[in-house]
């Protein structure tokens, strides 16, 4: 009998030499294992070739990762991307229907960076394709010439929405400091989404799903990076893991649950 929830972590489809491969960053996997206390299953970006219903039956929670690729703009009615923009249509075909079905089914969901943007698109929102080019917004991209510790270091404050999920996870604090490694961001907020945090320039930095049956949070920054060294990151992954564990236990037949507890 399993004692840890099975957490599906989304993968990107990328080419390794001549071979198509499915890849998930270790930092996300490690955070789901060490921060959320889960067993991890990496989910390939195979679209409809793996039925959404079958995936949801298999997992107790889903972590939608960040990525170097961006959601294809036709998914949210956007204009054509700038030349050289990296897309992953196979991931879009996998994650967008999977996220919607998961939230509807009460499967815990945590979206990070691209995963956060996917959450907005799933609920009918749109994206700024180049935040730094939009008047009034700061440049939220990292300097890729910096060391990783500098790139993922605190970049700016976020204001936490009063009474929101994120503020509760932050122990009632009104603000927190986060890293910033993204070129895209939310333009119009999707329906049934709640703003959980904003950057000083007004860009939305975190969202949740109103009246969701389970944990459903998206964040624009990267809490998975050195998550154990940051109180808010620790709280996010712990809460996500608790929700996954609750779903796992709810799906165990009563007799088997008692047997597991006394094993």
| Catalytic residue list | 113, 222, 224
DSSP type of residue 74: G
Check the CA dihedral 230-236-237-238 and report its sign.
positive
Check the CA dihedral 231-233-236-241 and report its sign.
negative
CB-based contact 8:62 (threshold 8 Å): yes
Nearest to 57 by CA among 110, 115, 106: 106
Distance CA 45, CA 12 (A): 6
CB-based contact 28:112 (threshold 8 Å): yes
Antiparallel, parallel or unpaired: β 204-209 and 216-219: antiparallel
Terminal alpha carbon distance of the chain: 9
Residue 87 φ/ψ region, left for φ over 0, alpha for ψ in the -120 to 50 degree band, beta for the rest: beta
Buried b (16+ CB within 10 A) or exposed e, 224-248: bbbbeebebbbbbbebbbbbbbbbb
Distance CA 168, CA 33 (A): 23
3-class secondary structure, 110: strand
């Amino acid at each position: 009998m399993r004692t840890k929830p099975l957490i599906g972590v989304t993968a990107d489809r990328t080419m390794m030499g001549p071979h198509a491969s499915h890849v998930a960053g270790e930092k996300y996997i490690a955070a789901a294992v060490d921060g959320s206390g889960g067993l991890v299953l990496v989910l390939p970006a195979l679209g409809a070739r793996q039925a959404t219903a079958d995936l949801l039956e298999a997992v107790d929670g889903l972590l939608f990762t960040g990525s170097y690729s961006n959601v294809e703009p036709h998914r949210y009615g956007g204009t054509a991307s700038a030349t050289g923009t990296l897309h992953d249509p196979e991931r879009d075909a996998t994650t967008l229907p999977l996220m919607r079905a998961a939230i509807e089914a009460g499967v815990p969901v945590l979206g990070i960076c691209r995963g956060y943007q996917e959450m907005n698109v799933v609920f009918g929102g749109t994206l700024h394709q180049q935040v730094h080019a939009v008047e009034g917004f700061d440049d939220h991209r990292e300097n890729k010439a910096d060391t990783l510790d500098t790139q993922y270091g605190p970049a700016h404050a976020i204001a936490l929405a009063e009474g929101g999920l994120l503020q509760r996870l932050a122990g009632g604090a009104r603000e927190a400091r986060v890293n910033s490694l993204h070129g895209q961001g939310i333009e119009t907020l999707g329906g049934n989404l709640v703003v959980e945090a904003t950057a000083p320039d007004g860009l939305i930095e975190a969202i949740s799903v109103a009246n969701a049956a389970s944990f459903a949070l998206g964040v624009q920054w990267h809490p998975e990076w050195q998550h154990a060294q940051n109180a808010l990151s620790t709280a996010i992954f712990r809460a996500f893991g608790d929700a996954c564990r609750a779903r796992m236990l709810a799906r165990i037949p009563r007799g088997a649950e008692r047997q597991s507890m006394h094993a």
